Amino acid sequence: MTDSLLIPIIMTIVGAATPILLAALGELVVEKSGVLNLGLEGMMLIGAVTGFAVTATTGYAPLGVVAAMIAAAASAGLFGFLTLTLTANQVATGLALTIFGIGLSALAGENYVGQTVDVFGSVFPAALAEHPVLRVIFGYSPLVYVSLLLVAAVSWFLRKSRAGLILRAVGESDLSAHSIGYSVIGVRYMAVLFGGAMAGIAGCFYSLVLTPMWAEQLTAGRGWIALALVVFAGWRPMRLLLGAYLFGAVMTLELHAKAAGFSLVAPEFLAAMPYLATIAVLAIISARKAGKSLAPACLGKPFKPSS
């Protein structure tokens, strides 16, 4: 009895946590390089619609995921061109990218509304994936396992690898990194493209795994929660993992409370919960760290060596 309730709850938490984890992990790398890309929501939507369209056309979900990564990374490249090459304001450009992504995805997905694709299911044999208890470990989309591997990989990359060190140097002190011969703009372009590709996977997690269908504004503001999550995690991948699952739990609470006809509080209050929780968490974290910020020192500042 408890299993029959507990296991679906855990699985819903994992489902809710994975896309924001993927998107936030990409944004974390972007921000570590000193760039603030507020276009996460827009890139996710572009990924979501591309992934869905390609999967619906070819019938092959992995191809959809790759296409989503490419499309979202291309939109990130546009952001990079404006902010890095043309030194445009990062906040404004990121917002424009979100508005653009919302419109473009709605436009591109118009003919796909109402269609369905096969769920991007498990890679494990059905005996494990559909086992009443073991499915809590084996019953997920491959993207879930990919997201966990990526957390470990990014964590290792930032802390242990030489390239990661350069990336952090560019984010903490762009002028010094430049003066010892690293290409600040080059490193930032790579980071921004990576962030875009990750947002693309995150987006198609909604359209290929969770729903699986396409609807306008499918991601429903989760991109912004992912952005908040990066701050919440203090720019550390492992804490990001914890934060994403915490947020996943809050969102799941809402779903299950609604399903169970829980009527003590208004459903609107539960729907507002993830956002209120984000604000509360930001307040606690920011207050505690007031004075010494954990943010990369060059975050959001355009780089122009000669001026």
**Interface positions with another protein (CB under 8 A):** 38, 78, 81-82, 86-89, 91-93, 95-97, 99-100, 102-104, 106-108, 110, 216, 221, 224, 227-228, 231, 266, 268-269, 271-272, 275-276, 278-279, 282-283, 286-287, 289-290, 304, 306-307
- Smallest distance from the beta carbon of 100 to another protein, in angstroms? 4
- Smallest distance from the beta carbon of 303 to another protein, in angstroms? 12
Residue closer to another protein, measured from CB, 143 or 228: 228
Residue closer to another protein, measured from CB, 141 or 278: 278
- Smallest distance from the beta carbon of 283 to another protein, in angstroms? 5
Closest CA to 22 of 59, 68, 77: 68
How large is the C-alpha radius of gyration of the chain? 20
- Smallest distance from the beta carbon of 156 to another protein, in angstroms? 28
* Tokens found for residue 36: 């603030």
Q: Using N-to-C axis directions, what is the helix angle for 267-288 and 237-259, rounded to 10°? A: 160
- Smallest distance from the beta carbon of 14 to another protein, in angstroms? 23
Cβ neighbours, 10 Å, residue 183: 13
Residue closer to another protein, measured from CB, 272 or 297: 272
Closest CA to 38 of 99, 87, 125: 99
Residue closer to another protein, measured from CB, 160 or 268: 268
Backbone angles phi, psi at 250, to 5 degrees: -60, -45
- Smallest distance from the beta carbon of 305 to another protein, in angstroms? 10
Closest CA to 277 of 250, 254, 239: 250
Residue closer to another protein, measured from CB, 88 or 136: 88
Residue closer to another protein, measured from CB, 159 or 304: 304
* Tokens found for residue 88: 């445009």
* Tokens found for residue 71: 């499309």
What would the DSSP string read from start to end of 154-210? HHHHHHH-HHHHHHHHHHH-HHHHHHTT--HHHHHHHHHHHHHHHHHHHHHHIIIII
How far apart CA 151 and CA 288 sit, in angstroms, is 25
- Smallest distance from the beta carbon of 42 to another protein, in angstroms? 8
- At residue 107, the 3 state secondary structure works out as helix
Residue closer to another protein, measured from CB, 172 or 216: 216
